[in-house]
């Protein structure tokens, strides 16, 4: 049975790290008050929360006070999660800000364990605090705004989280003992502290604040800061600064104050200081390094937080300039509704060499001592040293290993790219899972599947097809780390999304002929495997959304591979299950083809399933559509499917020839190819039911398009050179 929730002050375990704001002596905290052992000063405790900051009319937040109070009341009446979802639109920043535990995506990489003590300053509605409670043994969560800390208390109560101590206090007056914390988190706070102490200039307030944090940290502790770049590209384009108006971060501070005094625009969060001085200082990456050095920090690591420090789904080390530019290009070229060819994209490409200076947001890691070591870091370096004799120097020079983290909204998994900071070359990938064992079974399944595939590749003597080498597993608390070798060659998505790639028809033909040769070899090898699970029979069923349309279901049934069109016992194949340009690499010199992400390996799939998915994943558009701004992501992917499979574009003809070539070499009747395409769409539609609402809707549309174009497909695919 779950334990009854009680705040720490209501238990025998008091907050041992609290100290007096006046004399710095320890505090004894009971259910009603905290008492200083030295000077006898008292502070009230209400609902288990010590209240060191009590200003009745103080409020600051993204929503107005009445909305915040309504949110708390709704949370208390039912589910705190549903209270949030009922009040904010699906894509609203508040949904991510309150619900998405990946706001602390960086937490698994900091080496926290059950012995760690963490401090979250300015914890807001408790999302980062909630996330950190999964990694550390003890979390102190400090917030000044009553409404916010009351909401956090309710979320912790409902989630039955017992290792968090809530403290209502000002960020500039922290009642906490020095040399106590392994990690201090200051997310979206440092830029505001100048508003909270008007006696001195904002930079001095920031330095004093950081000096206090430096004293709070243990000698091997680390400070994490999430904050904006003073010279982020968006600010040049007119985005609002913290002042509530554009451009104030870019001009001299005195000019920014002048701009504030002469604006009548209401601030989007709260009123700033009555003097209308510009006091919300931000800096460039170099400026933050200087600031932290003045505060006593010896080492700083800087990361580009994309799309922002409050949604840090991609953390790219600024020290690895090549990785920064690579991520910039991936963002620019990844399929999206925006026009693929436009003057805006040309300008961004021109700016690419300077990308590391003008990124919007940072996550900064600052430590009191250089060369900080953690259990995770030591384990990674030992595995890397064991995996290759050429890299044994990494253990002696740990700072040569850098990492870049990639995840997504509400995911429980992250992928960390490990590389040599000196050369930018990839060393390995670390796959991270935080959550319950059942949900994390996909990584265990991938390890098992990859081992089976490797065994079959060895037995078949197929040297040009490879899978990554598994290097080991580490578990720390409820987080599992899976290390595998870096893939060799170039990621195929980087090739096909290169600017102007499809303009060279000869190159496209050569590349895809080579790639299809490797996919054919891989497909043949997979058919020799045993013990592979089969897909659920429900994945072959016509999607629920189409069953109310008898015209479609009847037409689909007449053309299906698994039903009436081919009444003889249809063959099924074992296939990768999610083969795409994102999880394959090609070595253009040797022809080597490497495939990773094997958690979807399955039997019971229709022939050619992997081929269809691979070609669709290119995101190809016909030349006439590259200047089009699509209304939605669904429209964009629908256009891509039609350009690949239903058009007379140059790449459409290449796709048709190569799929028919695969039919010949894998003993599949070309007559069945259109029906196999429909089966592919049915299964992908069901596959995405619980994974991606967008792609689920896209595949419903594609099924309709495939049925409508079926006769033409039969005609065209019967004439590969047409």
Rg of the chain on CA atoms, in Å: 28
pLDDT category of residue 390 using cuts at 50, 70 and 90 = very low
Residue 507 lies in a domain: yes
686: left (phi over 0), alpha (psi -120 to 50) or beta: alpha
Residue 560 and residue 694 share a domain: yes
pLDDT digits (tens, 9 = 90+) for 624-681: 999 999 999 999 999 999 999 999 899 999 999 999 999 999 999 999 999 999 999 9
CB crowding 328-348: b at 16 or more within 10 Å, else e: bbbebbebeeebbeeeeeeeb
pLDDT category of residue 10 using cuts at 50, 70 and 90 = very low
Residue 308 lies in a domain: no
What is the number of domains present in the chain?
A: 3
Residue 394 lies in a domain: yes
pLDDT category of residue 439 using cuts at 50, 70 and 90 = low
Strands 138-143 and 164-168: parallel
Peptide bond into 307 cis (omega under 30): yes
- Domain stops at, among 169, 187, 222: 169
pLDDT category of residue 55 using cuts at 50, 70 and 90 = confident
Q: What is d(CA 109, CA 136) in angstroms, rounded to the nearest whole number? A: 12
Task: At 637, give phi and psi (nearest 5°).
Answer: -70, -30
CA distance to 31, 137, 217, 293, 420, per residue, from 402 (Å): 46, 26, 23, 21, 6
Exposure of 641 by Cβ count < 10 A (0-12 exposed, 13-18 middle, 19+ buried)? buried
- Domain stops at, among 169, 190, 206: 169
Residue 460 and residue 600 share a domain: no
Residue 518 and residue 449 share a domain: no
Residue 498 and residue 442 share a domain: no
Residue 46 lies in a domain: yes
Q: Which long-range contacts (CB under 8 A, 24 or more apart) does 406-411 make?
A: 406/313, 406/314, 406/315, 407/102, 407/105, 407/313, 407/314, 408/102, 408/313, 409/96, 409/100, 409/102, 409/311, 409/313, 410/99, 410/100, 410/101, 410/102, 411/102
pLDDT category of residue 279 using cuts at 50, 70 and 90 = very high
Q: What is d(CA 377, CA 383) in angstroms, rounded to the nearest whole number? A: 10
Residue 532 and residue 406 share a domain: no
Q: What is d(CA 440, CA 569) in angstroms, rounded to the nearest whole number? A: 36
pLDDT value at position 487? Answer: 85
Residue 557 lies in a domain: yes
Peptide bond into 586 cis (omega under 30): no
Q: What is d(CA 244, CA 253) in angstroms, rounded to the nearest whole number? A: 15
pLDDT value at position 379? Answer: 92
Binning the chain into helix, strand and coil, the percentages to the nearest 5 are 40, 20, 40
191 Cβ neighbours under 8 A, 6+ residues apart: 227, 228, 242, 280, 281, 282
Residue 128 lies in a domain: yes
Task: At 100, give phi and psi (nearest 5°).
Answer: -85, 110
Q: What is d(CA 520, CA 510) in angstroms, rounded to the nearest whole number? A: 16
Which residues are paired to 164 by β-bridges? Answer: 139
pLDDT value at position 504? Answer: 92
Q: Alpha helices of 113-218 — where are they, by DSSP H?
A: 127-132, 146-159, 202-216
Residue 336 has, within 13 A of its CA and on its CB side, a CA count of 10
Residue 643 and residue 537 share a domain: yes
Structure tokens at 235: 């600010």
Residue 427 and residue 532 share a domain: no
> What dihedral do alpha carbons 607, 608, 614, 615 form, nearest 10°?
-150
Check if the beta carbon of residue 118 is closer than 8 Å to that of residue 132. yes
Max CA distance (Å), the chain: 92
pLDDT value at position 420? Answer: 84
pLDDT value at position 349? Answer: 79
pLDDT digits (tens, 9 = 90+) for 319-331: 998 899 999 989 9
Residue 686 lies in a domain: yes
CATH number of the domain where residue 49 is located: 3.40.50
pLDDT digits (tens, 9 = 90+) for 206-218: 999 999 999 999 9
Q: What is d(CA 151, CA 97) in angstroms, rounded to the nearest whole number? A: 13
Residue 373's SS3 state is coil
79 Cβ neighbours under 8 A, 6+ residues apart: 158
pLDDT digits (tens, 9 = 90+) for 549-594: 888 888 888 888 987 555 566 789 999 999 999 999 999 889 999 9
pLDDT category of residue 13 using cuts at 50, 70 and 90 = low
pLDDT digits (tens, 9 = 90+) for 151-188: 999 999 999 999 999 999 999 999 999 999 999 999 99
Neighbouring C-beta atoms of residue 54, cutoff 10 Å? 13
Residue 563 and residue 420 share a domain: no
pLDDT digits (tens, 9 = 90+) for 466-482: 999 999 999 998 899 99
Residue 267 or residue 535, greater confidence: 535
pLDDT category of residue 393 using cuts at 50, 70 and 90 = low
Residue 388's SS3 state is coil
Task: At 485, give phi and psi (nearest 5°).
Answer: -65, 155
- Domain stops at, among 169, 192, 216: 169
Closest alpha carbon to 9 in 140, 202, 184, 159 = 140
Which residues are paired to 27 by β-bridges? Answer: 36
pLDDT digits (tens, 9 = 90+) for 334-364: 899 998 888 778 877 787 788 888 999 999 9
- In this structure, what DSSP letter does residue 186 have? E
Closest alpha carbon to 119 in 55, 208, 179 = 179
Residue 413 and residue 494 share a domain: no
The domain containing residue 464 runs over which residues? 379-485
Q: What is d(CA 262, CA 663) in angstroms, rounded to the nearest whole number? A: 72
pLDDT value at position 127? Answer: 97
Residue 646 and residue 683 share a domain: yes
Highest mean pLDDT out of 140-149, 257-266, 385-394, 529-538: 140-149
Residue 529 and residue 559 share a domain: yes
Q: How many helices (H) and strands (E) does the chain have?
A: 23, 23
Is residue 290 predicted with pLDDT exceeding 90? yes
pLDDT value at position 54? Answer: 84
CATH number of the domain where residue 383 is located: 3.30.200.20
pLDDT value at position 636? Answer: 95
Residue 247 lies in a domain: no
pLDDT value at position 395? Answer: 47
Q: What is d(CA 283, CA 242) in angstroms, rounded to the nearest whole number? A: 12
pLDDT value at position 430? Answer: 94
> What dihedral do alpha carbons 263, 237, 196, 205 form, nearest 10°?
-120
Given the structure tokens 């070595």, which residue do they identify?
A: 587
pLDDT value at position 555? Answer: 85
Q: What is d(CA 349, CA 329) in angstroms, rounded to the nearest whole number? A: 8
pLDDT value at position 174? Answer: 96
Exposure of 170 by Cβ count < 10 A (0-12 exposed, 13-18 middle, 19+ buried)? buried
- Percentage of the chain modeled with pLDDT above 70: 93
Closest alpha carbon to 363 in 306, 297, 296 = 306
Residue 495 and residue 397 share a domain: no
- Percentage of the chain modeled with pLDDT above 90: 71
Residue 303 or residue 437, greater confidence: 303
The helix or strand, by DSSP H or E, that contains position 482, with its residue range, turns out to be strand 479-485
Q: What is d(CA 560, CA 567) in angstroms, rounded to the nearest whole number? A: 10
- In this structure, what DSSP letter does residue 568 have? S
pLDDT category of residue 386 using cuts at 50, 70 and 90 = confident
Q: What is d(CA 209, CA 200) in angstroms, rounded to the nearest whole number? A: 12
pLDDT category of residue 442 using cuts at 50, 70 and 90 = confident
């Amino acid at each position: 049975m779950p334990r009854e929730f009680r705040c720490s002050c209501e238990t025998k375990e008091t907050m041992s790290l609290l100290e007096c704001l006046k004399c710095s002596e320890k505090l004894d905290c009971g259910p009603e008050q905290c008492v200083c052992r030295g000077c006898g000063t008292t502070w009230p405790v209400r609902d288990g929360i010590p209240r060191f900051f009590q200003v009745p009319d103080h409020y600051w937040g993204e929503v107005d006070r009445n909305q915040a109070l309504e949110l708390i009341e709704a949370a208390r009446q039912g589910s705190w999660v549903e209270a949030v979802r009922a009040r904010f639109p699906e894509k609203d920043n508040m949904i991510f800000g309150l619900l998405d535990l990946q706001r602390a995506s960086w937490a698994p990489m900091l080496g926290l364990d059950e012995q760690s003590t963490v401090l979250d300053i300015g914890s807001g509605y408790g999302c980062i605090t909630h996330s950190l409670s999964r990694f550390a043994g003890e979390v102190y969560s400090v917030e000044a705004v009553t409404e916010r800390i009351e909401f956090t208390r309710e979320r912790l109560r409902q989630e039955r989280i017992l290792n968090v101590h809530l403290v209502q206090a000002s960020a500039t007056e922290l009642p906490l003992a020095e040399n106590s914390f392994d990690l201090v988190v200051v997310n979206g706070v440092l830029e505001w502290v100048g508003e909270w102490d008007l006696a001195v200039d904002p930079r001095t307030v920031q330095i004093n604040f950081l000096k206090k944090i430096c004293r709070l940290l243990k000698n091997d502790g680390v400070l994490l800061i999430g904050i904006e770049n003073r010279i982020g590209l968006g600010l040049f384009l007119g985005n609002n600064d913290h002042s509530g108006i554009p451009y104030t971060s870019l001009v001299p501070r005195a000019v920014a104050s002048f701009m504030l005094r002469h604006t009548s625009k209401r601030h989007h969060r709260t009123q700033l200081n009555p003097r209308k001085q510009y006091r919300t200082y931000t800096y460039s990456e170099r400026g933050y390094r200087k600031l932290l050095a003045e505060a006593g920090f010896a080492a700083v690591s800087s990361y580009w937080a994309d799309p922002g420090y409050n949604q840090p789904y991609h953390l790219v080390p600024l020290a690895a300039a090549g990785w920064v530019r690579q991520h910039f290009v991936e963002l620019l070229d990844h399929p999206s509704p925006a026009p693929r060819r436009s003057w805006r994209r040309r300008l961004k490409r021109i700016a690419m060499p300077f990308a590391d200076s003008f990124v919007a947001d940072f996550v900064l890691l600052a430590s009191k001592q250089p060369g900080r070591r953690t259990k995770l870091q030591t384990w990674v370096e030992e595995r890397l040293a064991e995996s290759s004799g050429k890299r044994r120097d990494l253990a002696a020079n740990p700072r040569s290993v850098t990492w870049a983290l990639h995840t997504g909204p509400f995911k429980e998994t992250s992928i960390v790219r490990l590389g040599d900071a000196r050369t930018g070359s990839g060393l390995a990938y670390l796959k991270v899972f935080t959550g319950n064992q059942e949900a994390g079974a996909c990584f265990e399944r991938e390890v098992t599947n990859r081992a089976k595939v490797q065994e079959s590749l060895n037995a078949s003597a197929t040297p040009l097809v490879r899978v990554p080498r598994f290097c080991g597993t580490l578990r720390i608390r409820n987080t599992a780390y899976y290390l595998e070798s870096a893939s060799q060659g170039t990621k195929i998505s980087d090739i096909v999304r290169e600017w102007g790639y499809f303009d060279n028809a000869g190159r496209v033909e050569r590349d895809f002929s080579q790639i299809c040769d490797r996919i054919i070899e891989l497909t043949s090898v997979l058919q020799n495997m045993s013990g592979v699970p089969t897909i659920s029979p429900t994945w072959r069923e016509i999607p629920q959304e189409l069953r109310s349309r008898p015209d479609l279901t009847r037409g689909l049934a007449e053309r299906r591979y698994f039903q009436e069109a081919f009444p003889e016992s249809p063959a099924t194949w074992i296939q990768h299950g999610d083969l795409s340009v994102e999880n394959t690499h090609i070595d253009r010199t040797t022809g080597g083809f490497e495939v990773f992400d094997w958690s979807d390996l399955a039997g019971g799939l229709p022939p050619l399933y992997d081929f269809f998915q691979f070609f669709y994943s290119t995101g190809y558009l016909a030349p006439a559509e590259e200047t089009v701004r699509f209304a939605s992501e669904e429209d964009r992917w629908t256009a891509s499917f039609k350009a690949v499979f239903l058009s007379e574009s140059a790449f459409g003809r290449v796709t048709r020839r190569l799929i028919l070539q695969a039919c010949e070499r894998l003993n599949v009747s070309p007559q069945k190819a259109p029906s196999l395409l429909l089966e592919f769409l049915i299964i992908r539609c069901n596959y995405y039911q619980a994974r991606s609402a967008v792609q689920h809707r896209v595949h419903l549309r594609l099924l309709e398009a495939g049925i409508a174009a079926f006769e033409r497909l039969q005609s065209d695919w019967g004439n590969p050179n047409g």
